[in-house]
Amino acid sequence: MLALAGCGEKPADAPKVPPAPKATAWPMTRGGPALTGAAVAPVPREPVVAWTFTAPGPVNAEAAIAGGRVFIGSDKGRLHCLDAATGREVWSFETKDAVNAAPAVGGGRVYLSSNDGKLYALAADTGAVVWTLATDEKISSGDTLVRNPGGPGEWVLVNGYDGTTRALDAADGRVVWSYATGNYINGAPAIVDGRFVVFGGCDAQLHVVGLADGQVLRTIDAEAYIPASIGTFGKMAFCGNYANQTVAFDVEAGTVAWKYQDRAMPFFSSPAVNERLVLIGSRDKYLHAIDRLKGEAVWKFRTGGRVEGAPILFNDAVVFGSADGRLYAAELAAGAELWRLELGEALTASPAFGANLIVVGGEKGTVFAVRAGPAPAR
Q: What is the secondary structure of 25-58 as a DSSP string?
A: -B-SGGGSTT---B-SSPPPSS-EEEEEEE-SS-
pLDDT at 9: 37
Number of structural domains found in the chain: 1
- First CA to last CA distance, the chain: 50
Residue 102 has pLDDT above 50, yes or no: yes
The mean pLDDT value for 81-88 works out to: 98
> Does residue 146 fall inside a structural domain?
yes
Which of 53-67, 175-189, 258-272 is least confident?
Answer: 258-272
Tell me what pLDDT residue 23 has: 55
CB 137 within 8 A of CB 186: no
Q: Tell me the residue range of the domain where 150 lies.
A: 2-371
CA atoms within 13 A on the CB side of 126: 4
28 is a domain residue: yes
pLDDT (0 to 100) of residue 24: 73
Q: Is residue 376 part of a domain?
A: no
Q: Residue 262 — pLDDT band, cuts 50, 70, 90?
A: confident
16-45, pLDDT tens digit by residue? 444 444 457 999 999 999 999 999 999 999
pTM: 0.92
What CATH number does the domain containing 174 carry?
Answer: 2.130.10.10
Measure the CA angle with vertex 22, ends 21 and 25; round to 5°: 80
| Position 6 pLDDT exceeds 80 | no
In angstroms, the CA 109 to CA 207 distance is: 28
Residue 260 inside a domain? The answer is yes
pLDDT for residue 188 is more than 80: yes
pLDDT at residue number 191:
97
Establish if 42 belongs to a structural domain.
yes
Q: What is the mean pLDDT of residues 110-136?
A: 97
* pLDDT at 376 (0 to 100): 54
In a domain, 60, yes or no: yes
Q: Is residue 177 part of a domain?
A: yes
Residue 351 lies in a domain: yes
Write out pLDDT tens, residues 306-340.
999 999 999 999 999 999 999 999 999 999 999 99
Q: Residue 13: pLDDT above 80?
A: no
**Could you give the CA distance from residue 80 to residue 349 in angstroms, rounded to a whole number?**
15
